[in-house]
Structures are given as structure tokens and as C-alpha cells.
Structure 1
Amino acid sequence: GGGGGGGGGGGGDRDARDGPVAPAPHWGKSKYLNLSYQDLGTPYQRPEITRTLREAGRTLVTLRVAANALEAFPDVGWGGLPNLLTLDVSMNRLRSAGSLPRAPRLASLNLARNEIPAAWAAVRGLSWYPRLRSLFLADNPISDGDGQLYLDMVAWSCPAVASLDGQAFSNPLRGEGAPGGLRGWALRTIPPTMLPFFITHPSAQESARQRRQGGVWGW
């Protein structure tokens, strides 16, 4: 009995010496969350960021997780981030947009300075964001290679984007200038796996040259 009491007293002394333990933060009603520069891509931190994002998922409007050495976005579950408008995952190690969360309202996405290659499979996940208006992909392998292929990939994956890497982006699939007829139908319906064959056709390349305008991204 005395030994047990001594043990309890020792525990009390330790608590008094170290101070009260701060409670874990609760993110359930967070709208704006900045977790950048936290090294959250490490195995030790990954469970914590996953828990945090799942807890705040339904209310988040702005999320910044830049410079965390992330090789994939944390799994936030099937429900995703339904109210998210702005997502910054720049300066990480992502090689595909496929791990990004479901976010049907997303309007601004920063993927600059990752490791995304010039491959259709790597950008296919961007088509999950029908309301995306601003996209940053600068300083990725996809933007450092064939400039025309880069524009083609963005145009097909993100038909609503109006700003690419900080410049106005003219997408032929949007607005009054969208092509009609057979070509217009093809642009809207051809699966991404078939697009490389279509965009290399001479007529598509000629259309690309005709649509380029000074200072504006376009085909």
C-alpha cells in the first residue's frame, strides 16, 4: 500500500515539475489551415497529418501543406474535402495528381516545385476539379519539357482553368471560341489515353499555331 502511495506521489512530483500537458488541438471547425514547413512527409508525422485533415475535412476552405517532403497527399477518406477552395501543395515530392483529395469546389491549386512528369497518367487526377480556375505547375518536369504538350495536358485535364503559372490561359474548350463540329466533339470526348494520338495530327497542330496569342497561353 505504501509503495503504491509513493508511486502516486512520484507521479505527482513529475507532473508538477514538467508542467501540465497541453491537450491535443481539435481541428473539427477549422476553415483555414497552414501546415507548411512541418516535415509532415516523414513516417512519424504522416499519421498525425492524416488525422488532422480528416477531422477538419468538412469545414476546410483553405489548406496549405507546402514544403513537407510529401510523396503523396494524405488519405483523407472518400468524402475528401468538400468545401475546399484553395490548396497549396507546392515544394513537395509529388509525382502525380492522383493522390490529391476529392474537392469538387476547388478553385485554386498550387503544385509548383514537385516532381510531376509529362505523362497523361500523372495529370489525370486534375480532371476531378471541374471548378479549378487557377493552377500552378511551374518547376515540374511537365512544365520544363515540351511546352506545347504541357499546354495540351492542362487544356484537357482542366477545361475551366483561366490562369496557368500566373499567366492568363486561353483554353479552346471554354467559351465562344470553343471549336465545333467533329473536332469539338473529339476534344470533349476522347479519353486521355488517346489524346496523344489526336494532338499530334497535323490539323490539330495547325489549329494550335493559329490560336497562339502574344502573352497568353493558348493553342
Structure 2
Amino acid sequence: MSESSSGENASSQETCQSNSSYCSTLSESHAPLSRNRAFHSHSDSGISSLLPSDSFKYLTWQGIEQHDIQGSQLRCPRVREGPPAEELLLQHEECTLPPQRRVPEKIKWKIWIQENWEECTNLNISFQDLGDPYQVENFKRILRRLIRVETLWLVDNSLVDLSAVRLPSCRILIMNKNHLTSFKQLPKIPQIQHLSLAENHIEKLTGLASLHCTPLESLVLKRNPCEFHQNYRKRVFSCLPNLKMLDGILKLPEDSSPTQTSIFSKVCTVS
């Protein structure tokens, strides 16, 4: 091994150890699998040479052996499920999934406890690459378990509709770079204070009134088509009277609806 490559490995290990105590555990569990697996090229990778992570393309973190990490200990866990082994064979891809067998209820319960989503209060599950329906359904299943999460990042997950999901304790929700087209597709967020929906496809402000009964103080709608509506800021603040900041700009006097002019102000007084 060359000095440059060994130096890169050493620096990456130091960075991994400084980020979290459990990162080394994952790297140890990855090592035996990567040594025994032959890499091959994928047409959807977009690169000529394979990355070491391609060996674990279809595995969630709890599918990797020799660790006891829980979901609440991960900063950005991989939560999507891989396709069935039969589908991989039809696609002529190397099957990286463990052999499928009947999973006893005891093991299912152990995995459920290990995920530990009910105890998460600050969670980042962005960039999950949800390209298939079974992955989206598994993602929504996890969202329904986030009963205590207060800060949630769901950036760039190709999400379309989360109206069937309820996040009762969420105060900060970041859903930038998804495929939302309406406020009606948002999850139920009764305690929301800061909501960011930048770079979605929301064209109309219809459904914005559903946030009227929430303590929402800050809203980000940058790079959505609705941003170009006439009187955009006035319309948003009229729907949300408690809103203090829109797109990073505090509420200005001109953002308020003009008050009705009294009829007495038009009467000319002659002395």
C-alpha cells in the first residue's frame, strides 16, 4: 500500500472517531463483508469505478452483523429496505441481501426494539434514495413511530404525500428538495414552529390555512412556484397571522393587509 493511500485511510479513521463513538463499530462490522465480496459495476451508479459502499447498497444498518446500535444513536440512519432477492436476480445484479428465511416473531420484536424510533427527539433521515414503493412504505412506517421527535430533517427524499403521517411533538421540520405539490400533502404537525419547504413544487397557497391553528413562527417557501404569485407575502401572512418570518425575512409593515379606511377620514371639515 502506498504512503498516500495509507495516509488517507488514517485521516478518515481519525475523522470517523471524532464524529461519534459508534462509527468505529460500524467500520469493524463492514470490514469482513467487504473483504469477501467482489465488486462489480452498476449501470445506475453513474461512475466507472465502484465505491466500497456499493457492497452494502441494499442493507439497513441493523442488517449488518456484530453491533448493537440503536436508531436513536445514529445521526443519519439508512431506513429504506432493499428489493427481494428474486428481483435482484431478474436485474442481473449481485445479490447482496442475506438469504431470506422465515423470521421468528422474537427476532422481529428484537429489530423493532433496536430501531428505537419512539425515543428519538432529533433525527436526520435525509437522502434516503426512495426509488421504489416498498421503500416509501417502509419510510412512512418509521415516520409513524416518531411520536417524540422535535427536530426532523427529511431533505431530498423524493417525498410526495405524507398526509397520513402524524408528528405530534415536531417543532422543526425541514422538507427541502422533495416533490410536494400542495400544503395538503404535509404531515399532521400540531406543534410546528419552524417549517422549511424550499425547492418543492408547490404552485398554490391552497391548504396553507391548515397551519392556522399551529404555533408556526417561521416558514420557508423559497424556489417554489407559489413564490411568484402576486401579493405573495401578504397572502401568506393573512392566512397565518402568528407568522413572524417568511423566507428568512421578518414580517414587514407592507406585508400586513391594509386597514380599512374610515369613512370619516374622507369628510372635509369647513371652518
Same fold? TM cut 0.5: yes
Match of 1:83 in 2: 169
Task: Give yes or no for contact 2:205–2:226 (8 Å, CA) kept in 1.
Answer: no
Match of 2:240 in 1: 158
For residue 33 of structure 1, the aligned residue among 123, 128, 131 is 123
Amino acid at match of 1:67: D
More RCO (CA 8 Å, sep 6+): 1
For residue 126 of structure 1, the aligned residue among 195, 201, 211 is 211
* Number of aligned residues: 154
Task: Give yes or no for contact 1:67–1:91 (8 Å, CA) kept in 2.
Answer: yes
Offset at 1:44?
2.4
Give the Cα separation in 1 of the matches to 2:130 and 2:238.
Answer: 32
Give the Cα separation in 2 of the matches to 1:128 and 1:99.
Answer: 17
For residue 197 of structure 2, the aligned residue among 111, 114, 124 is 111
Give the Cα separation in 2 of the matches to 1:181 and 1:83.
Answer: 42
Q: Which structure's CA Rg is the greater one? A: 2
Offset at 1:125?
3.3
Q: Which runs of 5+ in 1 are unaligned?
A: 1-16, 183-219
TM-score of the superposed pair, with normalisation by structure 2: 0.50
Offset at 1:155?
1.3
Match of 1:68 in 2: 157
TM-score of the superposed pair, with normalisation by structure 1: 0.61
Deviations 1:112-167 (A, max 9, x none): 100001x34253433353x1111000100001x2341x113311222111111111
Question: What is the RMSD computed on CA atoms of the aligned residues?
Answer: 2.8
Match of 1:197 in 2: none
Q: Which runs of 5+ in 2 are unaligned?
A: 1-35, 37-62, 68-110, 263-271
**Residues 7-22 of structure 1: matches in 2 within 5 Å?**
20=65
Match of 2:54 in 1: none
Offset at 1:41?
6.1
